[in-house]
Amino acid sequence: LEIETDLRRALERKEFEVYYQPITSLKLGILSGFEALVRWNHPTKGRIQPGDFIPICEETGLIVPLSNWLLKEACQTTRSWQLKYPEHPAIRMSINLSAHQFRESQLIQEVESVLQETGLSGKCLKLEITESTLIDNLDTVTEIILHLREKEIQFSIDDFGTGYSSLSYLHRFPVDTIKIDRSFVSQMQAEENSAIVKAIVTLAHMLNMDVIAEGIETTAQLAQLRLLQCEYGQGFFFSKPLNKAQAEALIASSPKWE
């Protein structure tokens, strides 16, 4: 595969770039952190979105070195922002993990050494896992999560509602946060979808989890989510994913954290 050769080369040539999408506290209306999202600046094809290369990285195992690079880059960046903007010490970075990282890599050692090298505190790091990664490897993943939680690292279930997980599993997941998939948020005006969102938020709160609504694009969606006491929001209504300089400018202009 041509793209596979390209991807291997891209890692060496530093063609990947981390973008940062703000996550906002809906209650306070202020920035609470970012989700790190990878982009590929291909030398001839231009910017390539993760949907077009992450699946190939997963198939070829390239996802492990790519994710390790991204983890380090995002943690380093977060730490540099903390040092530069000490009035915003609590900024939290969320990073997507793939199933491969639980199976084939030394995930615990990797994360611990990145925290040590960058000086970032574990409580400023949140790791996102999809439902299917969790369910397909429930015992291994649970064990790794419990270990990393000792370092105060937090965990979220990403794209919640799109997998095949039964709700009866949810209380077994040692996670802090549920991210409601944007497919539900985008259709909230429909009665049955707002009922689903309401049910997810209620269930999360009963399990002492908080909720991030993904893909908020309108004031109407925001108002509904606030009524449901959803804690955090992410989406184009607040901001698209930003490059590093843009994200830093946002921090510089944000009100102080509580």
Indicate the residue among 67 and 194 with the shorter CB distance to ligand G: 67
Indicate the residue among 87 and 97 with the shorter CB distance to ligand G: 97
**126 contributes a contact to ligand G by CB under 6 A:** no
**Which positions from 104 to 143 touch Mn ion by CB under 5 A, shown as an x/- string?**
------------------------x---------------
* DSSP letter, residue 252: H
Enter the tokens of residue 16. Answer: 């990947």
Contacting residue, 4, 112, 143, 217, with ligand G by CB under 6 A: 217
Contacting residue, 51, 86, 139, 245, with ligand G by CB under 6 A: 51
Element (H, E) at 95: strand 92-96
**188 contributes a contact to ligand G by CB under 6 A:** no
Contacting residue, 10, 31, 37, 204, with ligand G by CB under 6 A: 37
Nearest-angstrom CA–CA distance, 131 and 128: 10
With the C-alpha atoms ordered 204, 101, 106, 125, is the resulting torsion angle positive or negative? negative
**73 contributes a contact to Mn ion by CB under 5 A:** no
**50 contributes a contact to ligand G by CB under 6 A:** yes
Nearest-angstrom CA–CA distance, 58 and 108: 19
**158 contributes a contact to ligand G by CB under 6 A:** yes
Residue 254: closest CA among 87, 74, 133, 45: 87
Element (H, E) at 142: helix 138-149
Non-local CB neighbours of 247 within 8 Å, separated by 6+ positions? 20, 22, 34
Contacting residue, 67, 78, 82, 96, with Mn ion by CB under 5 A: 96
Side chain identity, residue 240: K
**131 contributes a contact to ligand G by CB under 6 A:** no
Tracing tokens 């009100």 back to the chain, one arrives at 255
Indicate the residue among 84 and 243 with the shorter CB distance to ligand G: 243
Nearest-angstrom CA–CA distance, 127 and 107: 11
Indicate the residue among 6 and 35 with the shorter CB distance to ligand G: 35
Residue 183: closest CA among 202, 159, 207: 159
With contacts defined by CB under 6 A, name the span among 43-51, 112-120, 144-152, 201-209 that binds ligand G.
Answer: 43-51
> Which listed option, ligand G, Na ion, Mn ion, none, makes contact with residue 241 (CB within 5 to 8 Å by class)?
ligand G
Indicate the residue among 121 and 162 with the shorter CB distance to Na ion: 162
CA distances (Å), 194 to each of 27, 77, 154, 209, in order?
A: 19, 37, 27, 19
**158 contributes a contact to Mn ion by CB under 5 A:** yes
Q: Which residues bind Mn ion (CB under 5 A)?
A: 96, 128, 158
Q: Using CB under 6 A as the criterion, which residues of the chain lie in contact with ligand G when the complex forms?
A: 21, 37-38, 49-51, 54, 67, 70, 96, 98, 158-159, 182, 214-217, 234-236, 241
